[in-house]
Amino acid sequence: MKRVVLKKDVLVALLEISRHLHPNEAIVLLRGREVEQDIVLEEVLLAPASVYGKGFSEFRLDMLPMDFSLVGVAHSHPSGIPIPSVEDLNNMIGKVLIIVVAPYSNKSCIAAYNSRGECLQIIVESSGG
């Protein structure tokens, strides 16, 4: 399908949160909207009651606000392998699954997938102007 458009500050936040929690797995919620063929990610939110662990991370879906404009979830793979697991895809929420891999240095450390596990193109948009 689509492309995933990341605001620059969303990219930076994803990398920083993942780096901060390493070697545990980070998980965050992605707020945004769909614009024609793109899914635009506008905001990173820490999930309520998150648990960060080695090889797993989870949160309480029932604690999310009702009006939540959730377009997807991002989590890190401290292993550095940017491939979603079967569990990742089965438990996917929203339209896009983002995986952030070590060493969390730049755009090339982020991969995006749709619910069928197909890799999506990532565009980084600078926030200014």
Which residues are near Zn ion by CB under 5 A?
85, 88
Minimum CB separation of residue 35 from Zn ion in Å reads 27
What's the rounded Cα separation, in Å, for the pair 106 and 124? 11
Using the minimum distance from each CB to Zn ion, give the nearer residue, 25 or 38: 25
In three-state secondary structure terms, 70 is: strand
Shortest separation between residue 93's beta carbon and Zn ion, angstroms: 13
Which residues lie below 8 Å from residue 89, measured CB to CB, with a gap of 6+?
Answer: 97, 113, 115, 116, 117
Minimum CB separation of residue 100 from Zn ion in Å reads 10
Nearer to Zn ion, 85 or 127 (CB): 85
Identity of the residue, 49 or 83, whose beta carbon is nearer to Zn ion in the bound complex: 83
* Interatomic CA distance for residues 67 and 55, integer angstroms: 30
